[in-house]
Amino acid sequence: MNKTLLILKREYLTRVKKKSFIIMTFLGPLLMAALMIVPVVLATLQNICEKNIAVVDETNWFIGKFEQGDNLQFHYVFEPVDSLKQKVLTGQFDILVYIPRPELNIPVNAEVYSNRQVPLNVSSYIKNTMSKEVEAKKLLASGIDPDIIKSAKTSINLVTIRIDEDGGETKSFTEINVALGLFGSILIYFFIFIFSSQVMRGIIEEKTSRIVEVIVSSVRPFELMMGKISGIALVGLTQFLLWIVLTGSIYGVFVIIYGVPESRQALGSGGSMISQANTMLPEMDNTAVLKVFEVVEAINFPVIIFSFIFYFLGGYLLYAALFAAIGSAVDNEADTQQFMLPVSIPLILGLVISNFIVNNPEGSLAFWLSMIPFTSPVVMMVRIPFGVPYGELALSMAFLIAGFLFTTWFAAKIYRTGILMYGKKPSYRELWKWLKY
Amino acid sequence: MQAYLSIQEVTKRYANHLALGEVSLEIPQNKIFGLLGPNGAGKTSLIRIINQITAPDSGQIFIKGQSLQADHVTRIGYLPEERGLYKKMKVGEQAIYLAQLKGMSKHEARIKLKDWFKKFDILNWWDRKVEELSKGMQQKIQFVVTVLHEPELLIFDEPFSGFDPINVNLLKAEILKLKDQGATIIFSTHNMASVEELCDQIALINQGKKVLEGEVNALKDANRNYTYNCEIHHPVSDWNTMLERLPVELLQTKAEPNKINLHLKTAPALSSNELLKMMLPLGEVSSFQELLPSMNDIFIQKVGKSANPASDE
């Protein structure tokens, strides 16, 4: 069997069999699913906590104005405030709202008593209802019917449509694209970082355990490095694919248990990305569900998933080579810091700038950063949901391939010298010399 | 006879020092060849070049007349001075992996490993993790892995470091057995006693240059300094004055009531038989022996001499 393949197999199997990999593989989707499900569950939980609210209105302006909700029961009472306070303490009422007779003729003050912290939504509901009522009274006083104001309020339904050169039209939904883009770029950032540093740690382990010289007497240092890098790449891909499958199944189970309406269920079966877009808007009416349909149709999933895998692999190969060079140059993880920083700055920069790029995904900053191989994996993921011309995409990918070929060549030179050097921490000048050995 | 390994004018230069300067060596087939030299002399550089871990700047290496090629690594077994194993991996699994890297099939490796493990009585370590074993145990496994693929050329760099005396003897016996089975062995060490015990031939390298090469016995003869040890029982009463008249230089005298022990040096022209004749009148010679220099003496003499001039650069 090919020796690089043997190394790849060992790297892959030892990592996949590790407990930490198995735990992360199952925990990851649980966390992701929790991220989607918890808001929905919380929204249902909120309805459960009922509040009995006593209202003492000395102005008589607000009698019957607080609407009885599922969770908020308003009782209009005419008892002295002090005896009601006792009732709050004994638990007969949860909250006491006391609206005193104003000194001027407009009531602007109210007091809320409770034996515990008043929930924010309750206090803001009281505040809103009161101010609405006062506003309406004021409008009436100046001769304007509040109904006129109500009917004048209009909600605008904005649809943005993209026109292709060949006459096709696709609806685009900026918010979804922003979310999708940022999600993709953060995910790719973490994947590159996590798996590249695994390469580095693996090399340091081989160095400190002193097995490396035994191995390079059987295989070329380059084969050892490439076997390790590609083995760990496969670990990353395995984890990613397992996450997609597991997230999808967990969401599927959730859908069955909670019995989400049919239209949603149809969406839910489409994979994790869709389910995510779906749950991001949990409280939607029927037209909103239709809108989600349109959004999902507008997203080019094949391109996004293909690009994610490509940019993960490309970016990973580029950075893993550099991290491999770092790992080979040092004797222990503590010494990696001085080399890690300059290497990871472009990656971090890409992630930070992504937050600005979502506002203008076709600007020149976005364009150039998605061409430079050191930032393109993270930045391109932000741009892709908005649609990137295929020519640009191909150019960026070509640059990325050239980029990782270069870093691999560069890293291999440092690596083959570094792995056999023990004892002192090298300086940048020494690394430069190793390049020429 | 053609040498098994022929090293011809190999030069290796690192950024600011010369590791090897036109070193040539002939390592004969089926012999144990000692590669000696002080720390930093260039031994490890040379061994790494033979193993194709690094490439020489100039010069050539031939194995059985063939210029060094990639697939030659499967014919070499190398036990480096800086050695270790994957700590988290199981012993058996790891040994099979390392054997596969040397080109063995999994099946073949397993069978041979079981044999070796049985021989060393370590079969019960098979499923244990390396980190659970002591340093000496790990070294044993490392030795087994080095010789498992039955290489024609074995290179041991300080093989005995980390072993207790019992295991050193076990290892020495195995190394000699491998030689009997036809292997050519390069043996790099600072332990001169084991060099005398094991090596047929040696080369001494210092500061990247070869300073001495040859068979161990021939080298000892060539470096003899005509010193003798002589023990005489019941010496005659005036042995002291008689000795002064002899053409010898007395290095050390140890006199006991009924016995004297002399350590003396003669001129090269005087043969040992003639010297012995001269000693006979002194009393009853119970022991007479020429003291040949040990490899240790030769090492110190040669390295010390060339260490004096200021190093280049």
Q: Helix A272-279 to helix A286-298 angle, to the nearest 10 degrees?
A: 140
Question: DSSP secondary-structure letter at B105?
Answer: -
Residues B233 and B211 in one domain: no
Average pLDDT over residues B76-93: 90
Residue B282 is assigned to a structural domain of this protein: yes
CA dist., res. A86 & res. B279, Å (int): 127
Residues B177 and B249 in one domain: no
Residues B270 and B151 in one domain: no
Whether the per-residue pLDDT at A263 is higher than 50: the answer is no
Note the pLDDT of residue B94. Answer: 93
Range scoring the smallest mean pLDDT among A62-71, A201-210, A361-370: A62-71
Structure tokens that stand for B244 in this block: 């002064």
Q: Could you identify the residue written with the tokens 């904005």?
A: A158
Domain count, chain B: 2
How does pLDDT run across B147-169, given as a tens digit for each residue?
A: 999 999 999 998 888 788 888 89
Nearest CA-CA partner of A200 in A64, A337, A99, A302: A337
* pLDDT band with cut points at 50, 70 and 90 for residue B309: very low
* pLDDT band with cut points at 50, 70 and 90 for residue B310: very low
Residues near A20 by Cβ (< 8 Å), separated by ≥ 6?
Answer: none
Query: Which amino acid would we find at residue A148?
Result: I
A–B CB contacts, 8 A cutoff, strictly below: 67
- Distance from the Cα of B35 to chain A's closest Cα (Å) equals 18
Note the pLDDT of residue A437. Answer: 65
Residue B44 is assigned to a structural domain of this protein: yes
* pLDDT band with cut points at 50, 70 and 90 for residue B305: low
Q: What angle do CA B215, B218, B219 make, to 5 degrees?
A: 80
Residue B296 is assigned to a structural domain of this protein: no
Q: What is the pTM of this model?
A: 0.74
* pLDDT band with cut points at 50, 70 and 90 for residue A397: very high
Note the pLDDT of residue A270. Answer: 41
- Distance from the Cα of B289 to chain A's closest Cα (Å) equals 45
Residues B278 and B168 in one domain: no
Whether the per-residue pLDDT at A161 is higher than 80: the answer is no
Average pLDDT over residues A7-21: 91
- Distance from the Cα of B233 to chain A's closest Cα (Å) equals 57
Interface contact flag, A14 B89, Cβ < 8 Å: yes
The larger pLDDT score, comparing residue B98 to residue B283, is at B98
How does pLDDT run across A94-142, given as a tens digit for each residue?
A: 888 888 887 777 777 888 888 888 878 788 888 888 888 888 888 888 8
Note the pLDDT of residue B312. Answer: 37
Q: Could you identify the residue written with the tokens 């193993």?
A: B51
Domain ranges in chain A are 12-41+174-436, 50-152
* pLDDT band with cut points at 50, 70 and 90 for residue A258: low
Range scoring the smallest mean pLDDT among A217-226, A289-298, A361-370, A383-392: A289-298
Note the pLDDT of residue B96. Answer: 94
* pLDDT band with cut points at 50, 70 and 90 for residue B108: very high
Note the pLDDT of residue A266. Answer: 42
First to last CA, chain A: 31
CATH of domain A50-152: 3.40.190.10
Residues B59 and B185 in one domain: yes
Average pLDDT over residues B206-216: 87
Whether the per-residue pLDDT at B280 is higher than 70: the answer is yes
The larger pLDDT score, comparing residue A343 to residue A276, is at A343
| A217 part of contact set with chain B, CB < 8 Å | yes
Handedness of CA A110, A116, A120, A121 (dihedral sign): negative
How does pLDDT run across B85-102, given as a tens digit for each residue?
A: 998 899 999 999 999 999
Residues B236 and B171 in one domain: no
Residue B313 is assigned to a structural domain of this protein: no
Whether the per-residue pLDDT at A285 is higher than 80: the answer is no
Q: How do strand B201-206 and strand B209-215 relate by DSSP bridges?
A: antiparallel
Whether the per-residue pLDDT at A403 is higher than 90: the answer is yes
Across chain B, mean pLDDT equals: 87
Which long-range CB contacts under 8 A does A11-20 form with residues at least 24 apart? A11/A202, A11/A227, A11/A228, A11/A231, A11/A232, A11/A235, A12/A231, A12/A232, A12/A234, A12/A235, A14/B88, A14/B89, A15/A198, A15/A231, A15/A232, A15/A235, A16/A235, A16/A238
Whether the per-residue pLDDT at A24 is higher than 90: the answer is no
The larger pLDDT score, comparing residue B245 to residue A226, is at A226
Residues B10 and B62 in one domain: yes
Residues B213 and B229 in one domain: no
Interface contact flag, B53 A205, Cβ < 8 Å: no
Q: Helix A221-258 to helix A3-16 angle, to the nearest 10 degrees?
A: 40
Q: Which chain A residues are closer than 8 Å to B78 by Cβ?
A: 213-214, 217
Question: Which of B54, B82, B98 shows the shortest C-beta gap to A210?
Answer: B82
Residues B138 and B241 in one domain: no
Note the pLDDT of residue B35. Answer: 92
Residues near A377 by Cβ (< 8 Å), separated by ≥ 6?
Answer: A188, A192, A311, A312, A314, A315, A318, A350, A400
Structure tokens that stand for A145 in this block: 């019917």
Q: What is the CATH number of the domain that holds B55?
A: 3.40.50.300
Question: DSSP secondary-structure letter at B77?
Answer: E
Task: Tell me phi and psi for residue B288, to 5 degrees.
Answer: -145, 125
CA dist., res. B159 & res. B219, Å (int): 24
Residues B206 and B234 in one domain: no
- State which of B193, B221, B249 marks the end of a domain: B221
Name the range with the highest mean pLDDT among A218-227, A254-263, B286-295. Answer: A218-227
Structure tokens that stand for A304 in this block: 């996004």
The number of residues in chain A equals 437
Task: Tell me phi and psi for residue A282, to 5 degrees.
Answer: -70, -35
Question: Which of A1, A209, A214 shows the shortest C-beta gap to B87?
Answer: A209
Interface contact flag, B78 A209, Cβ < 8 Å: no
Residues near A305 by Cβ (< 8 Å), separated by ≥ 6?
Answer: none
Note the pLDDT of residue A27. Answer: 86
Whether the per-residue pLDDT at A282 is higher than 50: the answer is no
Q: Could you identify the residue written with the tokens 């003396």?
A: B264
Residues B139 and B263 in one domain: no
How does pLDDT run across B254-271, given as a tens digit for each residue?
A: 888 888 888 888 888 788
- State which of B164, B194, B221 marks the end of a domain: B221
Expressed as residue numbers, the domain containing B272 is 225-291
Whether the per-residue pLDDT at A274 is higher than 50: the answer is no
Structure tokens that stand for A37 in this block: 């499900």
- State which of B221, B236, B267 marks the end of a domain: B221
Residues near B219 by Cβ (< 8 Å), separated by ≥ 6?
Answer: B202, B212, B295, B298
Q: Could you identify the residue written with the tokens 């790494």?
A: B48
What percentage of chain A carries pLDDT values higher than 70?
Answer: 84
- Distance from the Cα of A235 to chain B's closest Cα (Å) equals 18
* pLDDT band with cut points at 50, 70 and 90 for residue A269: very low
Q: What is the CATH number of the domain that holds B245?
A: 3.30.70.260
Residue B70 is assigned to a structural domain of this protein: yes
Residue B109 is assigned to a structural domain of this protein: yes
Q: What angle do CA A220, A221, A223 make, to 5 degrees?
A: 65
Average pLDDT over residues A399-423: 90
Range scoring the smallest mean pLDDT among A155-159, A284-288, B214-218: A284-288
